[in-house]
Chain A
Amino acid sequence: GENVEQHPSTLSVQEGDSAVIKCTYSDSASNYFPWYKQELGKRPQLIIDIRSNVGEKKDQRIAVTLNKTAKHFSLHITETQPEDSAVYFCAASGAAGNKLTFGGGTRVLVKP
């Protein structure tokens, strides 16, 4: 089955700096890669996703890049703000409506 590795497990950045989280996946058949933000005790919230036919996608301060050959994808958050502090999860899925395999999560702390 699919295996998703996520690094780093914790990330502390100064407000205004950029944050980068990286994930690798094992199953070359995976073709959907969402990123979630989860606050304590809450459901995961989709912040951005990318499908395998696209190499990069951007939404305001958030961007995701995908390298299918190397089987890795990354989340980039620019101009970080204290409200970006949360746990972020990457995930991979092999088909539409299919189950998600999550990475281990990254706890991001943005220091004012």
Chain B
Amino acid sequence: GAVVSQHPSWVICKSGTSVKIECRSLDFQATTMFWYRQFPKQSLMLMATSNEGSKATYEQGVEKDKFLINHASLTLSTLTVTSAHPEDSSFYICSAPTSGRVYEQFFGPGTRLTVL
């Protein structure tokens, strides 16, 4: 149990376009999901906390108008990278805690974004 999926697993886009990444909890409900970004050979950096039915909470330095987060249901959160640029190329990973094992986070498989 406690499976998180992401779609797509990789995406290549042109500079200036927008890209949407989906994060789904497959067998549990997630009122909260977290979005991380990981550059090559670096750690995971939290971008924002996605809250079902309310606005996301962004970490300091993360542009909320560039990284749009929508948590429309208890099983789906989306991250849209708007007007993507090459410096946005990164590995984006979502995670969610469950109600059963409240401390553990379950991670999605990640999405590799390459902006040309």
Contacts and interface: CB of A to CB of B under 8 A. Distances in A.
Interface of A: 32, 34, 41-44, 46, 49, 51, 89, 93, 96-105
B97 A97 contact: yes
A39 B53 CA distance: 34
SS of B interface (majority)? strand
A41 B104 contact: no
B103 A89 contact: no
B46 A100 contact: yes
B103 A97 contact: yes
Interface of B: 32, 34, 42-46, 49, 91, 93, 95, 97, 102-105, 107-110, 112
Nearest to A101: B46
Given A43-B109, A97-B32, A105 B42 contact: yes
B102 A44 contact: no
B93 A51 contact: no
Nearest to B91: A41
Contacts of A105: 42-43
A89 B44 CA distance: 9
29 contacts: A34-B103, A41-B112, A43-B93, A43-B109, A43-B110, A44-B44, A44-B93, A44-B107, A46-B104, A49-B103, A49-B104, A89-B43, A93-B103, A96-B97, A97-B97, A97-B102, A97-B103, A98-B97, A99-B34, A99-B46, A100-B34, A100-B44, A100-B95, A100-B105, A101-B46, A102-B43, A102-B44, A104-B42, A105-B42
